Amino acid sequence: MSFELKIRELISDNYSGSAAILEKIIKSIRTYLNGNEIDAAYLHENLTKVTNHFPDLAVLHHFLQQFFYLIEEVQVNDLNLEKSKKKIEHFIDDYTGQWKESIDMASEKMARLVDFHNKKILLHSNSYTIHVLFEHLANHHIFPSVYQTMSGPVFEGKLEARLLSDLGCKVHLINEAAIGRFINEIDFAVVGADNVFVDGFTNKIGTYPIALVCREAGKKFYVLSDSRKRSPFDFSTRTHAIFEPEAPNSELWENPPKAITPVNYYFEFTPRELVTAFFFEDQWWDQSKKE
């Protein structure tokens, strides 16, 4: 499959979280490097399509900003093909190793500070960071009971449910619209994040109402992330720069009547005051303590 086709396929991925999409981008770049040339303009053109399609996924922008700088440097220094490929491969190896370790560290920090033994945990959507957390727990023989949302409109929560059940967790698959029915059965909620701002964070649609229900029910609501996703800005000042275009309307209703317009988005903002604590590899923010 050509690099362009891989990018087109990646853009149509409605099921994966930001870390999984980044992993697919990196695999596509590695495949491209097996060819006989490195066309910096071609790479930039096709990879920019990804960032334009996913403007709200901080990890993609973090990686591609550094990658674009690298291929420009390779071109300016006029390295031969073999040296260019080695330099790019070395960068990718270093990047993936560094941030895999960061997600591991964030998960370890949360598992140390939050008691997961014999707990019932609410999860939403499909997040690689959450997968790492539960792999860490399983390695320490901790298997919480999980209430996993289906996460409409494409129901990628089923993918996470299967993965967690394979790890040994008992999983209840629920519709997020029914969270009020189950909220008194859970101990706390844990979600990932696509961006973390000073005043809150963005994540899969449905996160905000879950946070509201947790507050009303007196349940803790945790966010697990890595520092690539932190921004020094308020969300209100960055909305125009990062929020995503409409998702395919046909996911809600294919060929609706003329007077009906389906409106479909994948991401939304949740205010910081609804979060009990944020966990990162280098620090954690306990919202219950006044700064």
Give me the sign of the Cα torsion angle 192, 190, 232, 281: negative
How many CB atoms within 10 Å of residue 142?
Answer: 17
Q: How many domains does the chain have?
A: 2
Residues in Cβ contact with 67 at an 8 Å cutoff, skipping those fewer than 6 apart? 29, 47, 91
Q: Are 11 and 50 in contact (CB under 8 A)?
A: yes
**Domain stop point among 70, 101, 132:** 101
Q: What is the pLDDT of residue 247?
A: 82
Split at pLDDT 50, 70, 90, the class of 291 is very low
CA angle 128/248/151 to nearest 5° reads 40
147 plus 23 within the same structural domain: no
Tokens of 191: 């979600």
22 plus 134 within the same structural domain: no
Residue 94 belongs to domain spanning: 3-101
- The neighbouring-strand residues paired with 194 are none
Residues in Cβ contact with 138 at an 8 Å cutoff, skipping those fewer than 6 apart? 167, 168, 169
20 plus 131 within the same structural domain: no
Q: Which CATH number do you get for residue 231?
A: 3.40.50.10470
* Nearest to 177, CA basis, from 205, 137, 201, 216: 205
Average pLDDT over residues 246-274: 92
Tell me whether residue 55 is in a domain: yes
Alpha-helix runs per DSSP H in the chain: 3-11, 18-33, 40-53, 58-76, 81-113, 128-139, 157-167, 179-182, 207-217, 235-242
Q: Write the pLDDT tens digit of every residue in 41-76.
A: 999 999 999 988 888 899 999 999 999 999 998 887
Angstrom distance (rounded) from CA 115 to CA 109 = 11
138 plus 278 within the same structural domain: yes
110 plus 95 within the same structural domain: no
Q: Write the pLDDT tens digit of every residue in 141-163.
A: 999 999 999 999 999 999 999 99
Tell me whether residue 291 is in a domain: no
Q: Is the pLDDT of residue 239 over 60?
A: no
> b/e string for 175-210 if b means 16 or more Cβ within 10 A?
ebeebeebbeebbbbbbbbbbbbeebbbbbbbbbbb
Rounded to the nearest 10°, the torsion over CA 147, 150, 151, 154 is 160
pTM (two decimals): 0.92
Tell me whether residue 277 is in a domain: yes
Share of the chain above pLDDT 90, in %: 77
9 plus 72 within the same structural domain: yes
- List, as one string, the DSSP characters of 6-46: HHHHHHT--SS-HHHHHHHHHHHHHHHHTSS---HHHHHHH
Of the given ranges (50-64, 100-114, 195-209), which has the lowest mean pLDDT? Answer: 50-64
93 plus 120 within the same structural domain: no
Q: Write the pLDDT tens digit of every residue in 5-38.
A: 999 999 988 888 899 999 999 999 999 998 878 8
How far separated are the first and last CA of the chain, in Å rounded? 52
Residue carrying structure tokens 């299967």: 162
223 plus 140 within the same structural domain: yes
Tell me whether residue 22 is in a domain: yes
Average pLDDT over residues 164-177: 98
139 plus 174 within the same structural domain: yes
**Domain stop point among 84, 101, 118:** 101
Q: What is the pLDDT of residue 1?
A: 67
**Domain stop point among 83, 101, 119:** 101
15 plus 31 within the same structural domain: yes
127 plus 251 within the same structural domain: yes
229 plus 153 within the same structural domain: yes
